[in-house]
Structures are given as C-alpha cells and as structure tokens.
C-alpha cells in the first residue's frame, strides 16, 4: 500500500490541491495579500483544526486581559489613571466592536498571516501630538498592499475594499507617522511584510489535513480496504469482464456495499466472482501517529503547549497546570506586551507624553499559582523589612514597617538579646502571672504581738 502522504514530483491532477502551496506563496516578493492570504486562511485556518484552536486560544487569552492606563511621575514612578479618554477609546474602539473583540480580532489577524493593520480615523501623520483618533478600525490584511519607500519607511499603504475601491494612507517619511499602525512579525525574506506562523508549520498543516482526509476515507470504507473481487474464468475462457459487466458490478458496490451505512452488509456474488479479504498492516496505520506529530509541530509554531489542545501525550493534571502557566508567561504576555508597545508608540503620545498603557499582572487569574509562589518566597526572606516585602508585592508602606524581624523570635533585630524571654514550661510562658522573687519580711507585726 502506498504511504498516504508520499507525493510524486508530478503536477497534481485537476481538482487536487498542491500540498506545497504554502512554500510557494512568494513571501520574499509580495507578502501574504490577495489570493495568497485567502488560500492561507481557507486551508491553514478554516480546514486545520489545530491551527484554528491555536489561533483562537492565543487571541482569546490576549483579549481577556484588562488594559490599564498609567501616568509617569517623578523618577519614572507610574500612577494608575482610573478614568481617561484613551481608556474609553480602548474599551469602545468603534461602533461594531468592543475592546475585547477588537483585541481578539487584532491578535487573530497577526497570528494568521503575520500582519495586522489598525486604522486611526482622524490621525494626522504630520503631527506626532496632534488630534486623537475618533475611532480605531481593523483592516483585512489580505486587502492591504504596501508600497515600498526609498528609505526605512513605506511610501504609503493601499487598501482595496470589497468594492475594489483603493484608499491610500501616506506615511510621513521623516518620522514614519501614519494613520495606519502596522503590526508585523519578523520576516527574514521581506522587510515590509511579516511572516505567518503557518509558514513555518506549513508541512505540518498539510500532513494533518491529508491525514484527516485519509481517515475519513477509511471510515467511509469500513475503516479498512474492502477487499478485491477476483474473476475466475473457466477452461478456455479468459478471466475478464466485459465493459457492461464491469460497470454493473462497480455500480452495485458503490450503491449497496460502500459507506458507513452499508458496513457489514453481506455481498451476493454471481458465478465467476470470488471475494478476497484485504486489511491494513500496522505499518500502514502509522499515519495516525504522524498526524499527532504534525499537530505538535503546529502547536510548537504558535507557542501553545500540546496539553492545552488535547493532543495525546503527557496530558496529566499536573502537566496541564504547568503548561497553562507556561503558556501565559512564555506566549500570551509577550504577545500582549509587543502589541501594547506598538500602541504606546503610535497612539498614546496623542493623549500625552507621560501616559503609558499596560496590564496589571496581579489581575490575571491564570497567574494565581505564580503569585502564590512569589508571596511565599518573599515572606520567607529574613533579610527584608516589612515594607520592603510589601513593596515587592505591590502594596503601600505601613508605619513602623522599616524593621527586620528575626525569624526565630519575631522581634526587631535591634532589640534581640535585650528582652528576657520566659523559659519554656514556666508559668509566664503558659500565660500566667510571673512569680516574684521579693524577699520575705522578717519584721514583727504588732498585731501578732498583741495576739500573743
């Protein structure tokens, strides 16, 4: 039996998709736009369940973090701003999307093709501290074309809508300011477009998709090759069927004995036909493990632990908890920080040079285990004062907290050795009144003398 993923170096037949399509997209020339983007979205995202799960898991995690606004004070200290026009814009960027939906779609675009475009409606490229935008809108990366410039910055962005109407957004060639914020990943083949994670996982996507199709065909045929009909000819007669006989037998098999609904149905053979059973050997069934290996490669390209996707392997509860924490610390937070850094360069200065958009790690439920370990580690540090421990946990100082307590006695270090502690087992140690060592009075009591 032919290995299902082995391909010959020939042109695919009509209607057959070329598995090496992702490698021939021409990233070094034009980037993922137009038909290339549509093909990537349809085959890489809409048809591959692993890539779909990775992109959605990552985008949902990024969008679940509440954004905070801070104001830089003296010595760079950040003070949280509770209400501001910028916060209202991030919470309601446009009439059709909420803030969380906006961030989810933004991350999905970037993870799908390596590029994401934000249009600031009302931004003047010539002014760094000009008028803030009225709204923020996401543009489809497949409809965006970048016209290269002569220097470090593009000359302009050209966006073609569904009505085939081109809208251009110029780029200020000195400062690089534009009404378009282009978020792109690193691409060693092209300086203007980002590289999609699906490019690195293209072979894994092809193997996984073809494995799904192969498995579907097996199910349609009773999860095994049905067998073979052998024509037995008599003496002097060739063992062949006429064209009409062949077509009639083929139609009978397709209609009455193929598919899951006809599984196990007995076959009535005419004279001269003999049924020979066929089955798969274990070597031919290794495609299942190959499919799981391809799924791990796709998850690796997106930085998603396989345990979170239910891929067979080390999927214990302990490993799942550790994988979830690693997913947030190694993948989600760096991705969110990269996006917020871009917003702080492009959008935040329009509202004030001292403003800064970031997130509060203490408000992320997925990092509760990490915060607990940090609190225990800080609390066990005997060389830190109370206020130093509180600052490390993000809390304010308290009066009298600039002292160090000795762990064995829990007294201030400067008073150690000056306080007499009760001996173990004594009355004072048990909470009673301490015994007095005053000498007895030997003077005669006059009342006692009178009584005598």
Going by C-alpha positions, the residue among 41, 60, 100, 68 that lies closest to residue 335 is 60
The pLDDT assigned to 439 comes to 53
Q: End-to-end CA distance of the chain, in Å? A: 127
Q: In what order do the strands lie in the sheet with 115-121?
A: 135-139, 115-121, 180-184
The pLDDT assigned to 310 comes to 82
Quickly tell me which residue has 């003496």 as its tokens: 235
Residues of the chain under the 70 pLDDT cut: 1-35, 127-129, 218-229, 231-239, 241, 256-288, 313-318, 406-413, 415-452
pLDDT in tens, 55-81: 999 999 999 999 999 998 887 788 889
Q: CA 107 to CA 344: how far, in whole Å?
A: 17
Q: Is residue 140 classed as helix, strand or coil in its secondary structure?
A: coil
Which tokens in the block code for residue 20?
């090496």
The residues that bridge with 70 in the sheet, in sequence order, are: 80, 356
The pLDDT assigned to 118 comes to 96
Q: How far is CA 148 from CA 154, 167, 193, in A?
A: 5, 16, 10
The pLDDT assigned to 342 comes to 95
Which tokens in the block code for residue 11?
């042109």
pLDDT in tens, 202-217: 888 888 888 777 777 7
The pLDDT assigned to 19 comes to 38
Q: CA 133 to CA 124: how far, in whole Å?
A: 9
pTM passes above 0.75: no
Which tokens in the block code for residue 136?
């923020």
Q: Is 361 exposed, middle or buried (0-12, 13-18, 19+ CB in 10 A)?
A: middle
The pLDDT assigned to 264 comes to 58
* Domain residue ranges in the chain: 1-225+279-380, 383-452
């Amino acid at each position: 039996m032919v290995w299902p993923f082995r391909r010959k170096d020939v042109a695919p037949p009509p209607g057959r998709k070329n598995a090496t399509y992702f490698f021939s997209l021409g990233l070094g020339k034009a980037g993922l736009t137009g038909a290339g983007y549509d093909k990537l979205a349809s085959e890489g995202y809409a048809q591959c369940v692993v890539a779909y799960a990775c992109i959605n898991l990552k985008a949902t995690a990024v969008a679940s973090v509440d954004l905070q606004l801070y104001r830089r004070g003296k010595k760079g200290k950040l003070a949280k701003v509770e209400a501001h026009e910028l916060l209202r814009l991030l919470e309601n960027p446009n009439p059709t999307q909420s803030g969380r939906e906006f961030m989810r779609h933004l991350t999905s675009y970037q993870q799908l093709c390596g590029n994401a475009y934000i249009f600031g409606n009302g931004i003047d490229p010539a002014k760094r501290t000009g008028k803030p935008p009225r709204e923020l809108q996401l543009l489809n990366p497949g409809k965006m074309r970048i016209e290269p410039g002569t220097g470090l910055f593009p000359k302009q962005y050209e966006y073609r809508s569904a009505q085939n109407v081109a809208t251009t957004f110029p780029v200020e060639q000195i400062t690089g300011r534009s009404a378009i914020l282009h978020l792109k990943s690193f691409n060693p083949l092209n300086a203007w477009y980002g590289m999609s994670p699906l490019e690195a996982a293209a072979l894994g996507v092809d193997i996984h998709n073809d494995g799904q199709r192969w498995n579907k065909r097996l199910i349609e045929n009773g999860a095994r090759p049905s067998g073979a009909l052998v024509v037995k000819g008599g003496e002097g007669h060739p063992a062949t069927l006429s064209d009409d006989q062949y077509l009639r037998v083929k139609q009978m098999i397709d209609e009455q004995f193929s598919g899951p609904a006809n599984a196990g149905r007995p076959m009535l053979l005419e004279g001269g036909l003999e049924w020979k059973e066929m089955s798969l050997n274990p070597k031919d069934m290794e495609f299942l493990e190959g499919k799981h290996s391809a799924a791990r490669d796709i998850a690796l390209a997106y930085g998603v632990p396989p345990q979170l996707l239910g891929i067979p392997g080390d999927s214990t509860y302990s490993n799942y908890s550790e994988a979830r924490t690693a997913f947030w610390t190694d993948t989600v937070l760096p991705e969110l920080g990269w996006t917020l850094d871009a917003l702080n360069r492009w959008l935040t200065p329009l509202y004030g040079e001292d403003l800064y958009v970031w997130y509060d790690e203490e408000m992320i439920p997925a990092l509760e285990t990490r915060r607990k370990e940090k609190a225990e580690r800080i609390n066990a540090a005997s060389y830190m004062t109370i206020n130093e421990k509180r600052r490390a946990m993000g809390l304010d100082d308290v009066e009298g907290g600039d002292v160090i307590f000795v762990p064995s006695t829990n007294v201030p270090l400067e008073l150690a050795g000056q306080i007499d502690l009760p001996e173990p087992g004594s009355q004072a140690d048990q909470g009673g009144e301490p015994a007095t060592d005053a000498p007895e009075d030997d003077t005669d009591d006059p009342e006692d003398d009178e009584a005598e």
